Every structure is written in C-alpha cells, then in structure tokens.
Chain A
Amino acid sequence: MSIQWPLVFFTLFVGLGCGIFVVSVALTEWCGKEKQIRSISSILAVVALGVGGMSSTMHLGHPERMFGALGHPTSGIFMESTMMFLLGLVIIVYLLALRRKASDQTCKVIATVGALLAVVLAFVNGDAYVMASIPAWNTILLPVLYVASAAVMGCFGISVLIARIENTNTTIVSTVTAAETAATMETAMTTTTAKIKRATLIALAIQAVLIIAYLMHIAGAPYPDATRSVTRVLTGNLALFFWGGLVLIGLIIPAALMKKTESFSSVTSVKLGLACVLVGGVAFRVLMFLLGSSIKQFF
C-alpha cells in the first residue's frame, strides 16, 4: 500500500494530543506536581487533536458527506470520530473547571475521565487498522504500539513544557527571590524531572519491546509475501525507515537525550527529543503503510 500521508499525520497528532493529556493528568492530578501546566497542556492536547482531525479530512474524497457515518456506529471511522469528539469535549470541560477554579476533586475526576478516553482513542486509532485482509496489520500489537507511541510523545511534550517553566522560574528566582526559595523550587523540579525521565525511559523501552514483538508477528504472519517480509524491513528498501527513522531517531537518540538529562534546564535537549520521537512516530506509521499489502493484491 502506498503511504497515506493524511492518515500518518492524523494518527501522529492524535497520538501526540492523547499522550500530552494523559501524561499531564498523571503528573498534575494524580501525582500533584507542576499544576501550573494543566491549562497549557490541555490546550496543546486539544490543538493537536484538531490538527489530527483536519489531517484526516484531507484523506477523504468527499468530507462533506461525513455525516453519513452517524448512521453506522460500528465502523472504525465512527469510533475514532466519536472518541475524538468526546475527548475534545472532556478537555474543554476540564479547562472550564480549571478556569472557574473548581475543587481539586472535581478537576481530578474530569481529568481522569479524559485520560481514560485518551488512552482508548490512541488504542482505537491503531485498532482501526487491524484487519484480516492485511496480514502485517492483523495483530493486537498494532494498537498497543499506537498507545506506546502516544505515551512517548506525551512524555517529551510535557518535558518541553516543564523545561520552559523551569527556565522561566530560574530566571525569576535568580533576579528576585532568596536563595532558600530557589533551593526548594529546585528540589521540587528535580523530583518532577526524575519522574518524567523514568516514565519516558520506561515508555521507550516498552516501545522497543513492542517493535521487536511486531517484527516477530510479521515473520510469522500467514500468507507470507516479499512486500511484508522482515527481510524487507531489516535489510531491504525499508531498512532506512526502520534503522534510521524508527530505531536511531525514534528510540536511541531520545533515550540518550533523556538519560543524560539531570534537569530540564536545557530546553533545547528536550525539544530535540520531542522532534526525534515525532520523526520516529512518522517512520513507524510510514513503515506500517508500506507493509500493508493485502493477502492478494490483484489490482
């Protein structure tokens, strides 16, 4: 199958939005850290979902007929659209709750519902491609990989936000407040950094394991064909996407950047990490489409 670029960017941005929101909720609502990023991370998540939604319409021949999908609620596209709508709605409600200074418990409940929807949406995004007609896609590993990809992008997205705040605070502290305040703030930041760093490295490790498992699935998939062989991925014309895009840029470099990060004082480092995981996300999706040949591709 040829690369469906609108769908590549649709799932990439939806994954980014879901990841940012879930990681933000986990950090701010569940762990009680860095609550000042709640609004900005939620806005970024909604924007990412919006960009993803726009990308998906570019794939359609007749987007103006999209409302016809309302009558067929069992299709994958309906599920994706509904989940996106619900998640967007919950995030907007969450933003309103934050703005109206609702109680911590209320915000936490709304955010948790949103986070659950975000995980389901990331899963549904991948699950829509699981079909018996395409052996390389016919595995539960595919939607799980989409969730892992979203988690990695979310970790780096939040890291960039934290880094920006850390930088701003450092500037303020150095010019205005006392050394004691600076030390307290630094300790809090270090704890946050350690948490995000650990979560990111775990997410990257899970993604690496899933990719190996996915390759094993391709190797053992029924109706073997050269178009969807492991050889094509590892040493054939997809090797550059796999080794260069997915493994090196998508996994190794982000892991190295995160591992050497002691604090998020360097925005450049985490920004580079985010760019890398986005490239890795594109590489993974491109690989998926290029491996997506039907059992028999007659035309």
Chain B
Amino acid sequence: MSQRTMVVDLDRCIGCKSCEVACKQENGVVLGCTWNKVLTVGPTGTYPDIEMYYLPTMCQECKDSPCVKVCPTGASYKSEDGVVLVDKEKCIGCRYCMMACPYGVRTFNEETKVVEKCTLCAQLQAVGEEPACVKICPAKCRFVGDIDDPSSEVAKLIKNAGTDSVHVLPNVGNNPSARYILHSKTAKWKE
C-alpha cells in the first residue's frame, strides 16, 4: 500500500520559515491557524560544543492515524495514497481529533468552525505539482513521495542517509510515516 508522506533533511534546513509563509498563502490559512511550523531545537551544550537545529513540523501522516479513528463522522480520513485529510463538509468541529493527535498539528478554524490540517497541498499534487512548502524551500530540504515505494525519491533519501540518521517523532501506536534526516555531525536528535 502506498504511503505518501514528507521527509525533511534537517541538515539542510536553515530555519527561514519560507515554508510557513508559502503554506499560508497557498492554502489560505487564516490568522491564528497553522498547518506547518518551524521550531528551533536548542541551542544545547556548553560553549564551544553548542548545537542547534530547526524542526519543521506538520502532520506526520500516521499509518494508524488516531485522528481518523476518533472522528465521529468520518470527516477525517485517509486517502488512497495514505494522506490524512479532512472533509470540511462533514466535520462537526468537535475537536476530538485535535486531542487524539500526539503532536498537536491540527488547528481549529474559528471562522469556518471546522478542523484543518496540512493536506500535502493535495490540490497542487493533483495537477502534478509539489506542495507549496517543498517548492518554496530555498535549502531544498523538504521532499514528498511514496515512502513505501523503494524507487521513490524519499525512500532513496532515507536509505542513503543511513538508519542512525533517520528519525521519527515519538510513536504511541500511531506509526508516523514522516521522517527527519539529521546526521550527528550537525546535531544530536532530541526526543
């Protein structure tokens, strides 16, 4: 089964937050809502051994998505290619999915009274384009593809990075599919 997801090379991320801006513009994300956010992890250590990295956060496209399981109306669902989406016409705005998300990456739109999240720019991918955050990234650190397909770009990136340098957010049975590449020469991954 295919699993479309995002892989971020943290060795290359410069923390410019272009992806945040591009996401807002492309998807019309209203003020107060966020689909994609770049966090700064660190600095940690003692001078001169100080390290820091940037962590772009968004929906982790979990294989066993708790948000989909708890949704009372089926508004949250997984598409055929494994992307978690929200049918805004079905959403009752109970925010139960926001509670069930282990990473707090869903957002409630106070204007439309429904829950929103990163869609991996499904509207762009449908016409053969990459998501806005991927297109805009000046460091070319974001990649989208089918992680279950060994011939895909994202699968090759992960294979080439080596298992020690491929990281995943805490897994509480949700099995996030997004991956972060961070080599120890850049910084140590913080759980």
Q: Which residues of A contact B (CB under 8 A)?
A: 1, 4, 59-63, 65-66, 68-69, 71-72, 74-78, 128-129, 131-134, 223, 292, 294-299
The interface size of chain B toward A, counting residues with CB under 8 Å, comes to 37
Smallest CB-CB separation from A56: which chain B residue? B94
| 5 A-B pairs with C-beta separation under 8 A | A76-B72, A128-B96, A132-B172, A133-B172, A298-B57
Which residues of the partner chain B approach A4 to less than 8 Å between Cβ atoms? 95
Smallest CB-CB separation from A289: which chain B residue? B99
**Besides the contacts A59-B95, A298-B39, what 5 more A-B pairs have beta carbons closer than 8 Å?**
A60-B94, A69-B73, A75-B72, A133-B66, A133-B174
Q: Please report the number of residue pairs spanning A and B whose Cβ atoms sit closer than 8 angstroms.
A: 106
| Alpha-carbon gap, A62 to B90, bound state (A) | 9
- Is A76's CB under 8 angstroms from B103's CB? no
**Using a CB-CB cutoff of 8 Å, which residues 95-117 of chain B contact chain A?**
95-96, 99-108, 112-114
Q: Is B187 engaged at the interface, CB distance under 8 Å to the other chain?
A: no
Q: Is B145 engaged at the interface, CB distance under 8 Å to the other chain?
A: no
Q: Which residues of B contact A (CB under 8 A)?
A: 34, 37, 39, 57, 66, 69-75, 90-96, 99-108, 112-114, 169-170, 172-174
Smallest CB-CB separation from B173: which chain A residue? A132
- Is B173's CB under 8 angstroms from A77's CB? no
- Is B94's CB under 8 angstroms from A77's CB? yes
| Alpha-carbon gap, A132 to B106, bound state (A) | 16
Q: How far is the CB of B142 from chain A (nearest CB, A)?
A: 16
- Is A299's CB under 8 angstroms from B94's CB? no
| Alpha-carbon gap, A61 to B96, bound state (A) | 12
| Alpha-carbon gap, A188 to B69, bound state (A) | 52
Beyond A65-B90, A76-B96, whether A298 also contacts B72 by CB under 8 A is no
Which residues of the partner chain B approach A68 to less than 8 Å between Cβ atoms? 72-75, 90, 92
- Is B99's CB under 8 angstroms from A292's CB? yes
Which residues of the partner chain A approach B73 to less than 8 Å between Cβ atoms? 65, 68-69, 71-72
- Is B93's CB under 8 angstroms from A62's CB? yes
Q: How far is the CB of A131 from chain B (nearest CB, A)?
A: 5
| Alpha-carbon gap, A74 to B68, bound state (A) | 11
| Contact among A65, A76, A296, A297 for B91, CB-based, below 8 A | A65
| Alpha-carbon gap, A81 to B106, bound state (A) | 24
Tell me which of B69, B91, B102, B174 has the highest count of chain A C-beta atoms within 10 A of its own C-beta: B102
- Is A299's CB under 8 angstroms from B91's CB? no
| Alpha-carbon gap, A292 to B102, bound state (A) | 11
- Is A295's CB under 8 angstroms from B170's CB? yes
| Contact among A129, A223, A296 for B104, CB-based, below 8 A | A296
Q: How far is the CB of A81 from chain B (nearest CB, A)?
A: 8
Tell me which of A1, A65, A72 has the highest count of chain B C-beta atoms within 10 A of its own C-beta: A65
| Alpha-carbon gap, A213 to B173, bound state (A) | 25
- Is A294's CB under 8 angstroms from B104's CB? yes
Which residues of the partner chain A approach B75 to less than 8 Å between Cβ atoms? 68
| Alpha-carbon gap, A1 to B100, bound state (A) | 12
Q: How far is the CB of A98 from chain B (nearest CB, A)?
A: 34
Smallest CB-CB separation from A59: which chain B residue? B94
- Is A296's CB under 8 angstroms from B74's CB? no
Beyond A131-B66, A133-B66, whether A294 also contacts B103 by CB under 8 A is yes
Q: How far is the CB of B174 from chain A (nearest CB, A)?
A: 7
| Alpha-carbon gap, A131 to B37, bound state (A) | 24
- Is A62's CB under 8 angstroms from B96's CB? no
Q: How far is the CB of B16 from chain A (nearest CB, A)?
A: 18
Smallest CB-CB separation from B93: which chain A residue? A61
Smallest CB-CB separation from A76: which chain B residue? B70
| Alpha-carbon gap, A61 to B109, bound state (A) | 9
- Is A62's CB under 8 angstroms from B103's CB? no
Which residues of the partner chain A approach B99 to less than 8 Å between Cβ atoms? 1, 129, 131, 133-134, 292, 294
| Alpha-carbon gap, A133 to B96, bound state (A) | 11
| Alpha-carbon gap, A295 to B57, bound state (A) | 14
Q: Across chains A and B, which 6 residue pairs bring their CB atoms closest together, nearest first?
A: A61-B93, A61-B113, A68-B73, A132-B172, A133-B102, A77-B72
Which residues of the partner chain A approach B102 to less than 8 Å between Cβ atoms? 132-133, 294-296
- Is B174's CB under 8 angstroms from A297's CB? no
Smallest CB-CB separation from A80: which chain B residue? B72
| Alpha-carbon gap, A60 to B90, bound state (A) | 12
Beyond A61-B113, A62-B93, A68-B74, whether A298 also contacts B103 by CB under 8 A is yes
| Contact among B69, B93, B174 for A60, CB-based, below 8 A | B93
| Contact among A59, A133, A223, A299 for B100, CB-based, below 8 A | A133
| Alpha-carbon gap, A167 to B44, bound state (A) | 69
